[in-house]
Structure 1
């Protein structure tokens, strides 16, 4: 069985639908939940790929010591070009671990259902090439990538965030947005993030309702994306 290491920095952001899509594509998920005290391995021995999810921690918080081994693991994955998908907080940790930097968003949080736009480089990318030009996503971040690592390629952006998705090497991806959520997860985030909801210009119910309405389109677009990423992991396992 092809094994994917799944690092869950917070149980508020579980693999959810993305985990289901990856499992359906033939990957065995080895989940490590930091909230439960699970150990983050020192390397990817015994695993063929890596998924790092999001959480309420800030990549800028030096007190979040549980994130240090996650950065180390991401640095190793990038150095070895192991198929990796790092989402939201994960994407920020990936940037930090490989020579980039992050910052608090100067214009305030980006929260709720939104669209991102594929950049030209995505047209030839093995997992992004099949996406529509402006796919639906869920945004939920107070921080962002300020400077990308050397050699990183931007794959998606939107008017409020210049780096919505990027690639390092051939197989390492950072997504600032979320594709894994359920309507219930998004509603819970809204209920616990009054600052983010206020920044959206909508009220709590509107943010939750719009997120719920976007989920069918998110699944239609990003479930096939997950299958293409799983194919990269399987190819790496067979190499």
Structure 2
């Protein structure tokens, strides 16, 4: 079985639908939940790929010591070009781990259902190929990637965030946005993030309803994306 290590920095952001899509695509998920004190391995010698999810922690918070081994693992994954998908907080940690930088968003949080625009480089990327020009996503971040590491390629952007998706090397991906959520997860985030919701000019109910309405389109676009990432992981497993 092809094994994917799944690092869950916070149980507020579980693998959810993305985990289901990856499992359906033939991957065995080895989940490590930081909230439960699960250990993060020092390398990926026992796994064929890596998924790092999001959480309410800030990538800029030096007191969030549980994130240090996640950065170290992402640095190792990037150095070895192991197929990796890092989402939101994960994408910020990936940037930091590989020579980039993050910052608090100067214009305030980006929260709720939105669109991102595929960049030209995505057309020939093995995982991003086939995406529509402007796919639906769920945004939920107060920080962002300010600077990418040398050689990284931007794959998606939108008017409020220049780096929505990027690739390091040939197989390591960072997504600033979320594709794994359910309507219930997004509604819980809205309920517990008054600052983020206030930045939208909408109330909790509307933000939650708009996110819920976007989820069928999310599945249509991002389930095949998950399948292509799974194929990348399986390809690595085949040559190990």
- Taking structure 1 as the reference length, the TM-score comes to 1.00
C-alpha displacement at 1:201, in angstroms?
1.4
5 Å matches for 1:131-142? 131-142=131-142
- SS state at 2:132 partner: coil
Say whether 1:216 aligns with 2:213. Answer: no
Correspondence for 2:3: 3
Gapped regions of structure 1 (runs ≥ 5): none
Aligned equivalents of 2:60 and 2:28: distance in 1?
32
C-alpha displacement at 1:80, in angstroms?
0.3
Aligned equivalents of 1:224 and 1:130: distance in 2?
9
- How far does the alpha carbon of each residue in 1:89-133 deviate from its partner, in whole angstroms, 9 at most, with x for none? 000000000000000000000000000000000000001011000
- How far does the alpha carbon of each residue in 1:134-182 deviate from its partner, in whole angstroms, 9 at most, with x for none? 0000000000001000000000000000000000010000000000000
Gapped regions of structure 2 (runs ≥ 5): none
Correspondence for 1:166: 166
Aligned equivalents of 1:31 and 1:45: distance in 2?
16
Aligned residues: 239
- How far does the alpha carbon of each residue in 1:51-85 deviate from its partner, in whole angstroms, 9 at most, with x for none? 00000000000000000000000000000000000
Correspondence for 1:124: 124
Correspondence for 2:175: 175
Aligned equivalents of 1:160 and 1:203: distance in 2?
20
Aligned equivalents of 2:95 and 2:185: distance in 1?
25
Correspondence for 1:86: 86
- SS state at 1:90 partner: helix
C-alpha displacement at 1:16, in angstroms?
0.1
Once superposed, which parts of structure 1, at least 4 consecutive aligned residues long, lie more than 6 Å away?
none
Say whether 1:149 aligns with 2:149. Answer: yes
Correspondence for 1:96: 96
C-alpha displacement at 1:232, in angstroms?
0.1
- Taking structure 2 as the reference length, the TM-score comes to 0.99
Correspondence for 1:29: 29
Correspondence for 1:231: 231
Aligned equivalents of 1:98 and 1:201: distance in 2?
35
Root mean square deviation, CA, Å: 0.3
- SS state at 1:113 partner: strand
